Structure 1
Amino acid sequence: MVAEDSSVVPLVPDALASIVTSLPSAIAIETTAGGRVSYSELDILVRHLTSGLQDRDVGQGTRVGLMLDRGVDYIATCLALLRLGAAFVPLDHRDPEAHLAHILREANVTLVCTSTGRDLDCPSVTPSALADTPQRPVLTGPARNAEAYVMFASQINRRT
């Protein structure tokens, strides 16, 4: 039997799984519109998103752009990507096309999760399309040293 190192912080997917097990009906997300999502509901959504992302070849080391409003879909998609060991690249729908194209190219983004309908030089999918995917086991998981996200400089430093 190997003793667990209590100084090692659990990975986000493991921490979420622990909370879902111990407090499934506790509120995980409360929206500004008054909506509430329990940890159990969040876990179900994350599992569906994870399966949908896997179906689109997202896994360890993959970078996925997120062009979503901040809310349940954004948080759940981030958690699904972390569960797969993939990284997310935040994208702002208000940015000029040239800047978005630069980020997609420089970050080597292979898929963009968006609800804006904006035309990008990259395959895209909506969170609802991902969530419609039946759940299946995770094929790859996160590595302790994997990147979680890729950020680009602020507006002041942008090349367009």
Structure 2
Amino acid sequence: MNKEEQVITSFRNLLNKRASLDKFKMKDKFKGYKSSEVHCIEYIGRNVDSNVTKLAESFYMTRGAISKITKKLIKKGAIESYQKTDNKKEIYFRLTGQGKEIYEIHEKLHKEFQERDKVVFDKITDEQFDSVLNFVEEYSRHLDAEIKKLGVDITNGNDFE
């Protein structure tokens, strides 16, 4: 395996390990909610005037998939939709009281996970952080350019079918 493959595999394994480890606590705290639903709640809680398009772009999911998630969240009473008086075409989302509770629990868990992992991050120098961040940003820009070159709308579906 060359170094490029090692980097990509290492990033994938790292993210999978973190997701698996975090899932144990998340699953216990968010009974009745899927991970994608909790992350939509998080996004809506952090971003005013969230809509299907913004959510789809953020999660690299189709607008149809996001619509299904938001409909479930509305049915569960975690979010509500609204329209602006000057724009009756666009539908936006905001958290309900129940959604805010879920958001707060999620934020507390993230802080807990940060504390758990602090032992590693405390050892990293600013130069090492800068190096990793520069690489990730450069790679992300490259992928954005490739997406643009292909004229691909990644929110219109990314299945292999």
Instruction: Tell me whether the two structures share a fold, i.e. TM-score over 0.5.
Output: no
Would you tell me which structure has more strand in proportion to its own residues?
Answer: 1
In the superposition, the TM-score normalised over structure 1's length comes to: 0.27
Which of these two proteins has the greater Rg computed from alpha carbons?
2
Would you tell me which structure has more helix in proportion to its own residues?
Answer: 2
In the superposition, the TM-score normalised over structure 2's length comes to: 0.27
